[in-house]
Amino acid sequence: MPLAEHSIREALDGLKAYRAEAQAMPAPFEIAVRDELWRIGTMLIDKNRSYGNSAFDPVRIFSRAHPIDQILVRLDDKLSRFRHAQSWPGDDNIDDIIGYLILLRLAQSGAV
């Protein structure tokens, strides 16, 4: 095989390998989504540990409402605070709303 043809083949093989590697690497959007989901998931796990699984196994001292109804009430409260631009120091209403929606999904699916 002539040298020029050999070099072209090597270049094409290198380009194919580069494309395959580039396709295997996640895009910035995918990385950002996975990072955000990891962060929210970690927040939910940490809060669940801190509050003793209160969303799915409440102590039921004052309320006998079903856990799904309790999550919906918490969502209403958070949305009300968000609507009125009220929050407490250290609160992140958007993270909390996302978290409650995930808890709602888990409760409705019966996963927990």
User: Residues 60-94: pLDDT tens digits?
Assistant: 899 999 999 999 999 999 999 888 887 777 788 89
Model pTM score: 0.72
Contacts of 12 (CB under 8 A, 6+ apart): none
Q: For residues 40 and 92, is the Cβ–Cβ distance under 8 A?
A: no
In order of 28, 40, 76, 86, 91, the CA distances from 44 in angstroms are: 24, 6, 18, 22, 14
Query: Which range (3-17, 54-68, 88-102) has the least confidence?
Result: 3-17
- DSSP secondary structure string, 13-66? HHHHHHHHHHHHSPPHHHHHHHHHHHHHHHHHHHHHHHHTSTTTS---SS----
The mean pLDDT value of the chain amounts to: 85
Q: For residues 40 and 95, is the Cβ–Cβ distance under 8 A?
A: yes
Q: Write down the pLDDT at residue 109.
A: 94
